[in-house]
Amino acid sequence: MDAEPGVRVRLEVVPSASLLDQLPKVYPAPGSVSVTCLPHHGPARTVAASVRLARLGYSVVPHVAARSIGSEEELHGFLRQLLEAGVSELFIVAGDRRTPEGPYAWSGQLLDAVKAFSPLLTIGIAGYPEGHPGITAGGLKASLDSKAPLASSLVTQMCFSADDITRYLDGLVHSGPHLPVWVGIPGPVSTGKLVAMAARLGVGRSIKLAHGTGMARALWNRQHLLQYDSAGLAGKVHRKLGGHPLFAGFHIYTFNDFSGLPGLLERVPAVPIPAPEKLDKGVPTH
């Protein structure tokens, strides 16, 4: 599959030392790439990798983690670097740090600060089809509603259930916010790595409570003991959401495991760009 706008695929990658050598071999520019910000890496590493990828011609969406930013001055320095490299979109999250490094304790504060610095930057925010282990459903909804007026898109946490994803998007159509949604699915990685990462990310509410969730149903299936069938999930999501007014495309969590990526990209269905006028109808298509 070629990396063209109509395909609507974005890869999430980790800014590892080998990223810039590995990625172009399997996913050439001008493909869309989202670069994570992990606590042990820090934002400087994310910004540096994002700048280099942008200069290679990729469409880059850096993660900016609120709790990892040490000061307003540091934030402004990062934003200047990204803007100078031609980066026009960010993905803002609270981050995995337990305590803030600086003045930003949650993603809403950082979103306000970024928009005050550069109103032209577009911003994606996170959505949770299966909930979050540390936040109530009401808290997630309130947080989403408060950030949505300044956001341009929503990226869902990695989910393994096409039904859960569909219910989540239909709920957004009914109650808002009406943002384009990038549906997060796992890349072609081993189930062992998925279980380990899911525990850290809170997928399926938590590993301890995973029985009955999309992740549990997917990973405990015997045919998926070695490697999860990401393309099969993408096909199910596409069959349910093809033409949905909020479905923007697939956001693939790669964990930098690129060996099976070309095969997956060949099988991921193309996603048409949603028609904005559908959002005014206030009803789901499914």
CATH code for the domain of 136: 3.20.20.220
- Domain membership of residue 190 (yes or no) is yes
Q: What is the pLDDT of residue 279?
A: 47
- Domain membership of residue 283 (yes or no) is no
- Domain membership of residue 32 (yes or no) is yes
Q: Which candidate, 97, 224, 246, places its Cα nearest to that of 173? A: 246
- Domain membership of residue 281 (yes or no) is no
Report yes or no: 246 and 172 within 8 Å, Cβ to Cβ.
yes
H or E stretch at 77: helix 72-84
Full DSSP string of 90-151:
EEEE--S-SS-SSS--SHHHHHHHHHHH-TT-EEEEEE-TT-BTTB-HHHHHHHHHHHGGG-
What is the number of domains present in the chain?
A: 1
- Residue 60 CB burial class (10 angstroms; 0-12, 13-18, ≥19): buried
Q: What six digits make up the tokens of 128?
A: 């949770």
Question: 10 Å Cβ neighbour count for 188?
Answer: 21
H or E stretch at 237: helix 230-241
- Domain membership of residue 286 (yes or no) is no
> pLDDT under 50 in the chain at which residues?
1-6, 202-215, 220, 222-225, 279-286
Q: What is the pLDDT of residue 284?
A: 44
| Domain membership of residue 21 as a residue range | 5-274
- Domain membership of residue 285 (yes or no) is no
- Domain membership of residue 284 (yes or no) is no
Q: Which candidate, 112, 62, 273, 51, places its Cα nearest to that of 180? A: 273
- Domain membership of residue 38 (yes or no) is yes
pLDDT digits (tens, 9 = 90+) for 214-258: 445 555 454 444 566 788 889 999 999 988 999 999 999 998 989
Q: What is the pTM of this model?
A: 0.86
Question: 10 Å Cβ neighbour count for 218?
Answer: 21
Q: What is the pLDDT of residue 209?
A: 33
Q: What six digits make up the tokens of 204?
A: 């399926």
